[in-house]
Amino acid sequence: MPEVATGSIKAALRRIEPYLWEIPSSFDPAMRVPARVFATARMLEEIIQDRALLQLVNVATLPGIQGAAIAMPDVHEGYGFPIGGVAAMDYETGVVSPGGIGYDINCGVRLLLTDLHDAEVNKWYPQLAKELFRKVPSGMGKGGKLKLSIKELDAVLNGGAPAVVKMGFGTETDIQYLESFGCIDFADAGAVSARAKERGKNQLGTIGSGNHFVEVDRVEVIYDHAAAKALGLFHGQVVVLIHTGSRGLGHQVATDYIKTMLHSLDRYGIRLRDRELACAPIQSEEGQRYLRAMAAAANFAWANRQVVTAEVREAFRALFGSDVKIRICYDVAHNIAKVEEHDVEGERKKVVVHRKGATRAFPPGHPEVIEQYRSVGQPILIPGSMGTASYVLVGAPGSMKRSFGSTCHGAGRKMSRRKALKTVRAAELLKELESEGIYAQAGSMRGLAEEAPIAYKDVHSVVDVVDRAGIARKVAQLRPVAVIKG
């Protein structure tokens, strides 16, 4: 299938709601559903600078896609699917595409709550940054202290976060505050290649490189006091965000199955606009095996964040004593496919929702929101950049009508890593951050420069769009005070 011209997409965009735009399915004969993007008019001018919306149109051509191909305001170009994309595929007739989940399967965010107040401990932030950097291994390919046998690794792939809790990393209470309770039960370690296991066996308890981090924040602004109280947040509170995923293991799972699915396209009569959209029918052998492998990698990521949590607790206790309380508020994935039920054009359907750079945003009362938070909705964790702010949101009813229970996942890049390296001097960035009371530790100056705040979109604007569009609701704004990067 030939690709459409990027320029014509701008002309095709129509505003259908104050913060929702549509490229109608009539735009391209190959589109099965419309393509929609949550944004302001000003944001759209930035979004159309790369191929993100062209990729979204391509997603709308995939077999079995339901409703619409959807992009969030933090959308930018990715592999096959745009980052910040959502696509729901009919469980019986649709396809599953590794590009719709991404290479870092179950990259996600965890929020830890302490009982410390910023006013009591702010003089300790430089030392805390150093202690966290010592305790939490970071950097490209960096392994951790936990060395697993293949048998032990398989137990983690099948059992997720509960498996490492049994090894002593945390408590049973921790598990109650994780999406899917930290384990997808149809995971199959046998569907994960030996190469993937070799890459992952020493990486539990590590954050890696790129945009992954451990970040200490203080609660700066509370927008919804009732929801904040339900989540355990208070003004001035010291909290911690952990952002990492399935490391080399997840990357290899994606690599393996993209190759497998490219070879099986002809067998299933699938023609693609872009080979990066490699896919297989959900009900095929390849589709089912990928879903089991993806679930295993997702379980690995939840286990990884669980071990990092234990390392963060060690760092805090080394400075503030064993009495400091640190509990999990929530842990949410933003690169994953989930089997869910949604209303599509008046019919209840079982679908596989691909979320790539997007997070669940289930509203109050939804049965998959944990009981502790069901009255306020699912917590949503939105990291910004290390020099700006992060947000805590909760799901809103509009997400079920407009976005398959989904919202944004972060600020979203606006500058390539290569351009950031040419633009930013890491040493100057460190000084600038410190002058603002933000203490950073990084495995490499290159990695720090790549993740400079100017490389990202305005997180405040992104969050305002999803709040005003009614798919999520602002609860609190967090300000970084100490950041650990790979």
DSSP for 273-284, written as a single string: SSGGG--EETTS
CATH number assigned to the domain comprising residue 136: 3.90.1860.10
Which structural domain range is residue 122 located in?
A: 1-486
Which stretches in the chain have pLDDT values below 50?
1-2
Q: Which residues pair with 217 in a beta bridge?
A: 239, 480
Q: Which of 312, 179, 314, 192 is nearest to 242 (CA)?
A: 312
Kindly give, in sequence order, each residue whose CB lies less than 8 Å from that of residue 8, ignoring residues fewer than 6 positions away.
27
Residues 6+ apart with CB under 8 A from 323: none
Predicted local distance difference test score (pLDDT) of residue 38:
98
- The answer to whether 409 is a known catalytic residue is yes
| Structural tokens at position 44 | 């759209």
Domain count, the chain: 1
Catalytic residue among 225, 366, 409, 460: 409
Rounded Cα–Cα distance for residues 362 and 155 (Å): 30
Continuous segment of H or E residues that includes residue 111: strand 108-117
The answer to whether 220 and 250 have CB atoms below 8 angstroms apart is no
Burial 239-269 (b: 16+ CB within 10 A, else e): bbbbbbbbbbbbbbbbebbbebbeebbeeee
Span 267-281, pLDDT tens digits: 999 999 999 999 999
Q: Residue 404 in contact with residue 342, Cβ under 8 Å? A: yes
Q: Parallel, antiparallel, or unpaired for β 83-90 and 65-76?
A: antiparallel
Q: Could you give the 3-state DSSP secondary structure of residue 239?
A: strand
What pLDDT, on a 0 to 100 scale, did the predictor assign at position 1?
A: 47
This prediction has a pTM of 0.95
* Alpha carbon distance 50, 313 (integer Å): 41
Q: Give CA angle at 429 (135, 76), nearest 5°.
A: 85
139 φ, ψ (degrees, to nearest 5): 120, 160
